[in-house]
Structure 1
């Protein structure tokens, strides 16, 4: 009777779709899990980038010609920010990045683009609105520095041999100076393209800094040209800064 009732009703057995529902639910769960993992990895990458930028290395773009031929406009340099955290002081001959000490960049336009805005947002590059400069340390606290017309730059009475100066430039004919004693906790900086560098020489009348850069404003030392690839190179300290009598003997190339 039961079999006849089934036939009379015309009902057919329904397939069991519980397994299909389980598979679909599992796929959705895996999809959500994948997105969560990707989001977590992105967060971790951003945090690491911020930590590296804050404590270890930061990339800076060269905006001008003031450090030619050592650095060209558009070069990207990596700046060591770690050693200053351990009390290391700038040394003669280093190329350093520092915050604008007293409106040295007043009136200079800020160049920005989408790539820099994105990289600065995650800490891999400084914001275009940040006022930072890059120059070479010529003298440090306690040094006496001078440069007379047609003469070389002298530090503590020792003439510097400066092969890094832009070809055709003079050491200081456009702006002779000194002798000046660098205050403790400060540095005297000059660009390698002397006739295109608004460096310490041009701010000696500044009532705040007198042309000297406070060490506290130094972000770090530029150690390598990282971009573009054909210009990959380190930025060592020139040998002239390790000559006997100039000061400490730890500045070695």
Structure 2
């Protein structure tokens, strides 16, 4: 009985060619223009930047403090995180809130002209907290809301809201509540805002004679400053002040 194994040559043309499948598998994972670690790393950086821009546009935006108008609460070069959802679902700014707003038509007459490309680049950098905010963006504290009667000053030199004197512990040490006397009623849908460093802040007081009387429309508010995110040594949440706790609602006080 012949038990010797019969050896035959393989027909290589009948064997499946897997080299093309491997190449196809690689091309399915990464297009040719993305081959290479540096290109993939660049794509990852780009996707992260897009994600941060979307986050900054709709949810939380870093805001670089460009001046000392909010000292001692906020220092120059601080980056605060602005909650853009704070007033999106029926909530409205309250007295004492630190807000970022677009000052067009209230603090400035119109947006200054700017090269479109430069505007986009600067806007992206500002949205990431890498550049100063637009010239029309401001950060101030809400002192009066719609209907409030705000007066400065009472017999002891304090701010008065709806007939109630307010002790403003957040004001820069040594600053009076205001060196400019005023007596205003805040129209509905607007806000009266002031900086904490009263002697260095250009705020509602400086626009009393302008159209709108220095009032900021509520719909121009970008968001509420909630946290100091940079530098690391100043990481903290901005606590809500109790200065206005005893202020009655509009119409509830004298005057």
TM-score when normalising by structure 1: 0.74
Q: Structure 1: 5+ residue runs without aligned partners?
A: 1-22, 107-116, 249-253
Q: Does 1:38 align with 2:44?
A: no
Measure how far apart 1:148 and its partner are.
Answer: 2.2
**Which residue, out of 245, 248, 255, partners 1:246?**
248
Change (3 A) 1:62 1:37: same
Alpha-carbon displacement from aligned partner over 1:152-181 (angstroms, at most 9, x marks no partner): 111111111111111110011x10110x21
**Which residue, out of 160, 165, 174, partners 2:171?**
165
Q: What is the alpha-carbon distance in structure 2 between the residues aligned to residue 59 and residue 186 of structure 1? A: 24
Measure how far apart 1:42 and its partner are.
Answer: 3.1
**Which residue, out of 119, 125, 128, partners 1:124?**
128
Q: Does 1:202 align with 2:206?
A: yes
Other structure's SS at 1:239 match: coil
Other structure's SS at 2:151 match: strand
Q: Does 1:185 align with 2:189?
A: yes
Alpha-carbon displacement from aligned partner over 1:125-172 (angstroms, at most 9, x marks no partner): 376544211110011011111112752111111111111111110011
Other structure's SS at 1:242 match: coil
Q: What is the alpha-carbon distance in structure 2 between the residues aligned to residue 162 and residue 171 of structure 1? A: 8
Change (3 A) 1:205 1:89: same
Q: Structure 2: 5+ residue runs without aligned partners?
A: 1-21, 110-120, 251-255
Other structure's SS at 1:38 match: helix
Alpha-carbon displacement from aligned partner over 1:30-75 (angstroms, at most 9, x marks no partner): 9816456435433432332122111110011111111111111111
TM-score when normalising by structure 2: 0.73
Partner of 1:175: 180
Structure with greater helix percent: 1
